[in-house]
Structure 1
Amino acid sequence: MSHIQLLESKLNNRDACIGIVGLGYVGLPLVLRFAEVGYRVLGFDIDASKVEALNAGKSYIEHIRNEAVTTAVDGGFVATNDFSRAGEPDALIICVPTPLNAYREPDLSFVTQTVEALLPHLRPGQVMSLESTTYPGTTEEELKPRLESRSLVVGKDYFLVYSPEREDPGNPNFTTRTIPKICGGVTAECLQIGKALYGQVIDRVVPVKSTRAAELTKLLENIHRAVNIGLVNEMKIIADRMGIDIFEVVDAAATKPFGFVPYYPGPGLGGHCIPIDPFYLTWKAREFGLHTRFIELAGEVNSSMPEYVVGKIADGLNEHGKPIRGSRILILGIAYKKNVDDMRESPSVAIMELLRDKGAELSYADPHVPRFPKMREHHFDLESAPLTAETLAAFDAVVVATHHDRFDFDLVREHARLIIDTRGVYREPKAHIIKA
């Protein structure tokens, strides 16, 4: 039996071992889904604390329950930081970060270093799937040559696909199983195996003709959001100058049953994808002599939102006869979106850093983030403050940066001296509420 026949059979019969590399917001849900349908799953991560927690049946992601991890462990799931075990799985799914470097250029070091660590232990008859968001050409230009350096013939005895992650943490309406899965293969045989890999765990696999098409699909999805959010953020500034509530306008426009999709403004972009992905395409486009002015303009607008918010804070404090320096300011919500604990690229952090630089005394309240986490580029030695009438009254300003459902916004409105609302929580105009 050929490699493709044997591997396809094992995947379809759920006899295959699945290796998930990178056990974060993307990798861990995949672990649980593959384990749920009966695959043996081996998880890889360089973070020993994550490995230890998972093997003990504990989750470190708020919306993933400990019970779900325990069930997977009881079913045979094992986490490890021993990459020499990479030959055990029949499939290796790579879910590692793809950030930007200091020059806003793609940083593929996590991907390439991961593949280099796996390479000595790979064997014929495996499939590798890259899920990390990246520019078109990464799979064929970075992964394929590395596999071939080990005399693995892609499409014959080794199979390579790109299948971008589509996760929306905290959204109860969509799960790993129900979100359609894009998949592109380096060869037709690779795509065949890719469909077998995901077909048993995802309701709908959407094949495309190449890994480049799959890579660009993911970028288009997030650039679409980034551009539209940039548009509505710019509209927010215009509406504010005109004395119009932009949230009322978006809600009204959304009643049109065709030709309009509502996007809402905020204090900036957050999450690992939307603030970062557009720069992957603009960087790659320069190789072809193209300049993505439209995308870059949206990026400029969105990147300027934290400064816009700080300007509104300064205006509000000025009306109360106070400068930012020395003022006590409470940030409500430091996760990048509501009802999650995900801090990646959170605009709240950018606002906090701008305020700190101007001499403000900062605190935050976030029921999903009890202590400010260790981050590569940002640090605040803070714990979440209790949200009480006394706490609120002690601050010169309260900034609504993330509109978690667990916040008592009536309490905030009643006891805060000054509120800067970046999320449209308060629709009725009040003297002490400033829309930002």
Structure 2
Amino acid sequence: MSADVVSSEPETPASRLQSPLETLRARMQDRSAVIGIIGLGYVGLPLALRFSELGHAIVGFDVDATKVADLNAKGGYVRYQGQTRESVRFHSRFEATTDFARAGECDALILCVPTPLGKSHDPDIGYILDAAASIRPHLRPGQVIALESTTYPGTTEEDMLPALAREDLTVGEDVFVVYSPEREDPGNAKYGIRQIPKVISGVTPACLQAAEALYGGAVDTLVPVSSTRAAEMTKLLENIHRAVNIGLVNEMKTVADRMGLDIFEVVRAAATKPFGFTPFYPGPGVGGHCIPVDPFYLTWKAREYGLHTRFIELAGEINRYMPEYIVEKLMDALNGARKALNGARVLVLGVAFKKNIDDMRESPSVRVVELIAEKGGDVAYADPHVPTLTLEEGKGASLTAQPFDAAAIAGYDAVVIATDHDAFDYEMIAREAKLIVDTRGRYPASQARVTRA
């Protein structure tokens, strides 16, 4: 599929009256367009809900038949809004399916599929290519195909476009291919899809117009850029900015700790400067799909241009080391209480990658649990959002979430605050715990029985 291929479809009086782009615009404007969402996860489901709020019929595609059946049975899903979990229902017709032949019913097809790393930390865009191959036979004039998955510059035009290619459809005339990176923040009650400005791009100028038609009613502010490659790089810059700054403050934490300084006090003081400083806070590492993964998409692509992204890779090394640093601090704290980690009862509070959600992807808290187990600790965890936890093969059996009431807290030799969910009673924990290793700055550094990590 390329912009210079001439369509083999015969021209009809109707097509002369209204072009595929005009048809798409009209259907988006009167809310009669059917929106197809491919990948019903943390990105796809909120996007489906937003278009459903506008009155569009939604067809959700996923390869997980169990998830599809569950969504169809419930007519909605559970999402996180600030400190609360809530069940939401779609406002207009929604149907989930594993049948990609139904892609032909949709006026828009939005790909929200995973982009993980391979075993050698190389990008794996297999989910994108599989989705493209699945919808390719069912494409028709008047459709817009949008990729939202985070990926390296060039993916949309160099990889996805050939996977969609059909000689009877011309990009920019019959169908429209766009890239618009997701900016979803699970658990953020202040910024939803509508409030977050959306970067959009297209393979051709007409494709960019299709992107404007697709997202214009759903998002308050659109940010057009010159190319899909620029949009892809924008998303990577956003996430690499966070990864590098988190790596910096995590390294500063180890330096401040050695100097006997409270890094959280230092960051809060620096944040009072009204210009030139953005506060980032240390923790047990970085988690989620974006921050631990996305920088490697750029480092891999940069090698194609003969470049070595040392700064980005150094930040990754620092962040990956943080779980080991925390366990070292735990061992020091136990030693100070004349106990060894081997055989000690340790409770890790919070294993999701961020507070108040259940997302376990790349969570550094899980690595903390694994390291404690590897060193002989009798480790358990508590998390109101994660009922069970499966460790990597050879690093311990599957665990079940434990109670975190006063009696339970008092029974452990040490408590590690790894993910600071609001559901935890921090006053009670401070009162009942024999020893606390605090990775999130919930307590003053001077508080008795508290070790900052």
**Band of TM-score, shorter chain:** over 0.9
1:199-254 Cα offsets, whole Å, 9 max, x none, are 01111111101000000000000101111111110100000000000000000001
Q: Show the 5 A alignment for 1:12-411.
A: 12-57=29-74, 59-63=76-80, 67-69=87-89, 71-72=90-91, 75-149=92-166, 151-372=168-389, 380-411=397-428
Flag the 1:297–1:374 CA change in 2: closer, same or farther, 3 A.
closer
Query: Cα distance, 1:179 vs. partner?
Result: 0.7
Q: In structure 2, the residue corresponding to 1:161 is in which secondary structure?
A: strand
**Which segment is superposed worse, 119-128 or 239-248?**
119-128
**Which segment is superposed worse, 374-383 or 162-171?**
374-383
What's the TM-score, normalizing by structure 2? 0.92
Flag the 1:165–1:187 CA change in 2: closer, same or farther, 3 A.
same
Query: Cα distance, 1:54 vs. partner?
Result: 1.4
What residue identity is the alignment partner of 2:205? A
Query: Cα distance, 1:12 vs. partner?
Result: 2.1
Query: Cα distance, 1:182 vs. partner?
Result: 0.5
Flag the 1:375–1:155 CA change in 2: closer, same or farther, 3 A.
farther
Identical pairs, percent = 59
Alignment check: 8 A CA contact 1:136 1:215 kept = yes
Partners of 1:245 and 1:232 in 2: CA distance = 12
Query: Cα distance, 1:118 vs. partner?
Result: 1.6
What residue identity is the alignment partner of 1:87? G
In structure 1, the gaps of 5 or more residues are: none
What's the TM-score, normalizing by structure 1? 0.96
Alignment check: 8 A CA contact 1:62 1:368 kept = no
In structure 2, the gaps of 5 or more residues are: 1-17
Query: Cα distance, 1:58 vs. partner?
Result: 5.5
Partners of 2:163 and 2:394 in 1: CA distance = 31
Query: Cα distance, 1:431 vs. partner?
Result: 3.8
Q: What is the root-mean-square deviation of aligned Cα atoms in Å?
A: 1.8
- Asked if 1:412 is matched to 2:429, the reply is yes
Moved beyond 6 Å, runs of 4+? 373-379
1:106-160 Cα offsets, whole Å, 9 max, x none, are 1111111121122222222211100000000000011111222454321111110
Partners of 2:131 and 2:148 in 1: CA distance = 13
Partners of 1:258 and 1:268 in 2: CA distance = 27
Partners of 2:392 and 2:381 in 1: CA distance = 16
Partners of 1:150 and 1:61 in 2: CA distance = 42
Q: Counterpart in 1 of 2:21? A: 4
Alignment check: 8 A CA contact 1:338 1:404 kept = yes
